[in-house]
Amino acid sequence: MLLSPMTTLDLPILNGTRFRARFETELRAAPVISTLQINIGSICNLACRHCHIESSPARTAPEDNMDVPTARRIVEWALRHESIRTVDITGGSPEMNPSFRWMVRELHAAGRHVMDRCNPTIIDAVDHRTSERFDWVPEFLAAHRVEVVASMPCYLRENVERQRGKGSYDASVEGLRKLNAVGYGIDRSLRLNLVYNPSGASLPPPQESLEIDFKRELKERFGLVFNELWTITNMPIARWRHELERTGQLGPYMSTLIDAYNPATVDGLMCRHQISVDPQGRMYDCDFNQAIGLRAPGLENRFVWDLAPAQLASRIIATGDHCYGCTAGAGSSCGGALA
């Protein structure tokens, strides 16, 4: 893949062509697809300002959340293909989907590495539709050696509650405390990684130095420990884009991302090493493309169970100008900074 030196400053922002003009040939997936990311649904106990799939307690429609037959077909597909070694379950709050525990049990029993994109406030939450409590989450995840990726936008109360709402800071701290209590961040086999998102229209600070600050502050304030901090850029799509438009910051934010484009991030982009699946089993290159309905060329009418991982390798990846969010500065992916 060759990078073009052109800057294409004359192209309109967010028309989808500016990022693609960076490449003389198409951006393609890697030769091996080893990760399946499953968006199990949009229902969540929070409605965060930066959420790129607009999750909230109101997202209860059947089409927004994976049903049991679809969950079973996707797990069967993953277990049928040995090349899929990691299954990354996201949402919403994934634990609110009734199939979550069954999926984790099946995948763990088959030796797959399972990740849970966990919103730690869920641990003390109650689903007011069903009165279900989620205090089972820490022990269940620990019993199945699930890697927990917990969202924690900042170690400061003001910044967290600006993004996630009043009370979310204390609930996040309490959730992390309960994860620590069952060994997360302490036992070598129970990894707890935190995710940081900027609270405004800016790139994340350097991941390494911010991790030092997070570890010091959370340890001193609450006695909390964790393994790694992952910094993720807020994507200019969905709810965050609406916020940028409302405050007149969309143009300046896009200029920030475009000016900070870093070609060294391209090889590590998550879209190149995984396939993302929505609640109906449809395929996308990443969770961000899924959020805006941008299907990969040739996969528009296909479901994940229609193809083998080898048929998804080296595919052309669908891109748009939001992709600058993953390639600006140190880069941003599901595993944090890239360069």
Cα–Cα distance, 307 to 291 (Å, whole number)? 22
Beta bridge partners of 37: 88, 276
Q: How far apart are CA 177 and CA 182, in angstroms?
A: 9
Cα 226 from chain centroid?
A: 18
Of 318, 240, 313, 245, nearest to 32 by C-alpha is: 313
Pairing of strands 132-133, 283-284: unpaired
Distance of CA 264 to the CA centre of its chain: 21
Cα distance between residue 78 and residue 82, in whole Å: 8
Domain 20-327, CATH class in plain words = alpha beta
Residue by residue, DSSP assigns 231-286 as: E-PPPSSHHHHHHHHHTT-HHHHHHHHHHTB-GGGGGG-GGGTEEEE-TTSBEESS
Per-residue pLDDT of the chain (339 residues; tens, 9 = 90+): 333 333 333 334 444 557 877 776 789 999 999 999 999 999 998 888 777 778 888 898 888 899 999 999 999 999 999 999 999 999 999 999 999 999 999 999 999 999 999 999 999 998 888 889 999 999 999 999 999 999 998 899 998 888 888 889 999 999 999 999 999 999 999 999 999 989 889 999 999 999 999 999 999 999 999 999 999 999 999 888 888 999 999 999 999 999 999 999 999 999 999 999 999 999 999 999 999 999 988 888 899 999 999 999 999 999 988 999 999 999 998 899 998
Residue 335, preceding peptide bond in cis (omega within 30° of 0) = no
Stated pTM of the model? 0.92
Angle of helix 100-109 relative to helix 68-80, nearest 10 degrees, comes to 10
